[in-house]
A and B are shown apart, each in its own frame.
Chain A
């Protein structure tokens, strides 16, 4: 992966000037390359990584394993796209193994998510079965630990 993208993945707020200096290229080039990645759809957005457990939101997240029948034309993609378009679905992946799609579904209450599964997801043509697991606590998300205190145990000056 382009080092520019690795830098943005670890801190999307890094300034163009700082990135330019880290990479040893002009700042204008950094701006250009980022714009190009955005235009090509390689960079699809920038979000903050929140520790949502701290916010006590009215929100539940379910991980749903879905078995589907691939369509004659379009294979898994047609049904996967259709499911992904529901705003309740925050992530969707095609999987190898005993099920086909893995969904992360968010709702305000357990009942709301259950309703989504029984009224929206399961009735879809091509969906064979679902298995829903509710998330209880987040320890790590997108490579970031949620409960680590940052401490520097090092002495302030060492040889």
Chain B
């Protein structure tokens, strides 16, 4: 038997042909270096609220260490439907229309696997979270990327979708507030999309993990628009607003038939989400306003700071309205996104993520996460300014 070549040939071709995430690639480089200020981290720098951590310890002491029902603790599903109604609008039945998952990542995978037959097309917008395209392909779907643009605030319009849709299109995937661009959608924007969805009789999967994190205008969920609830799978979780990434806890809400189908895949593959994480989530829902408000205010200050700094440096950046990412254009620096990020890392020890990690149309941009301390942001902006200046002839 000779080595890796023959084993590679035995891999599933879809898995084999999907490239590694560009983020992973970049992480490998950054992790070899010291004293790097990272604006490359897509998770909150805040600690999980102490009452959540403390109650998780208590749950562990009490012996909450067993399987839960496939859907998740009913008590948690009840608390979630209340929270979702209040924070996002749509109403769901906690008995049949909520599924607790291992992060939104699992929920997304379940939704696609539950809906897609081989070759079904999925419309999604780029630049986007690194896993969307791969997850669609793993579910045997055909990804149809729609490019959103900086001059448009990275919003999605009906016209963009009309240009790509075909009779084989089954699902539209949305992610607003958006990672990596920080773009959000207004009610009017979403109404256009909703009309398109109804006319084309599509299903919607909406990843609203950053829903709590908007700075100038409130977040609107597409599931709250007339007629959309019954054709939408709403995904949300605790990672971002509560700084609970490591708990790996997300959930899906949607019409009972869709949730039931997702539950089937979930029960045979995952069984249930971690019992401890579910208890932690229940505690997190006890006082969401207090927990989130402080972090939100701090993110807003950082957003203001970083947007002002880009303006001073002379890098064009659409105003980030949500999540904790800025996505400035580096096109005028005369380097590709990857070269810009690599040289910034080597010359100034600042890590940003090349826009191309989020889709080909991210070329000419870099993602700067402001989920790091103000001190770090200040220093990173000083270094970035020096770097950009050094590039000018």
Contact = CB atoms under 8 A, between A and B. Distances in A.
Interface of A: 3, 6-7, 11, 14, 18, 21-24, 152, 154-159
13 contacts: A6-B297, A18-B378, A22-B374, A24-B308, A155-B27, A155-B31, A157-B31, A157-B38, A157-B353, A158-B23, A159-B129, A159-B179, A159-B357
B41 interface: yes
A7 B301 contact: yes
A152 to B, nearest CB: 7
Contact of B309 (A11, A14, A21, A157): A21
B43 A154 contact: yes
A6 to B, nearest CB: 7
B26 A23 contact: no
B26 A157 contact: yes
A154 B351 CA distance: 14
Contacts of A159: 21, 23, 42, 129-131, 179, 357
Given A22-B302, A158-B43, A159-B179, 20 more contacts: A3-B297, A6-B297, A14-B374, A18-B374, A21-B308, A21-B309, A22-B374, A23-B301, A24-B304, A24-B308, A152-B45, A154-B43, A154-B45, A155-B41, A156-B38, A157-B38, A157-B40, A158-B23, A159-B23, A159-B131
Q: What DSSP secondary structure best describes chain A's contact surface?
A: loop
B115 interface: no
Nearest to A20: B308
Interface string B25-51: 011001100001010111101000000
B305 interface: yes
Contacts of B351: 156-157
B305 A21 contact: yes
Interface residues of B, number: 29
B304 A21 contact: yes
B38 A23 contact: no
A34 to B, nearest CB: 16
Nearest to A15: B378
B42 A158 contact: yes
Nearest to B309: A21
A23 B21 CA distance: 36
Contacts of A18: 305, 374, 378
A71 to B, nearest CB: 40
Contacts of A152: 45
A159 B22 CA distance: 9
A156 B40 contact: yes
B27 A156 contact: yes
B30 A156 contact: yes
A10 B105 CA distance: 35
A14 B42 CA distance: 26
B297 to A, nearest CB: 7
Nearest to A158: B42
B368 to A, nearest CB: 12
A158 B27 contact: yes
Given A21-B308, A21-B309, A152-B45, A157 B30 contact: yes
Nearest to B37: A156
A22 B26 CA distance: 30
B42 to A, nearest CB: 5
Contact of B305 (A11, A22, A156, A157): A22
B105 to A, nearest CB: 10
B40 A22 contact: no
A18 B305 CA distance: 7
Between B26, B31, B130, B308, the greatest number of chain A beta carbons within 10 A of the residue's beta carbon is seen for B308
B304 A157 contact: no
Nearest to A22: B301
A113 B302 CA distance: 46
Contacts of A156: 27, 30-31, 36, 38, 40-41, 351
* Pairs of residues from A and B, 6 with the lowest C-beta to C-beta distance, nearest first: A22-B301, A157-B40, A157-B27, A21-B308, A159-B130, A156-B30
A158 B131 CA distance: 12
Contacts of B129: 159
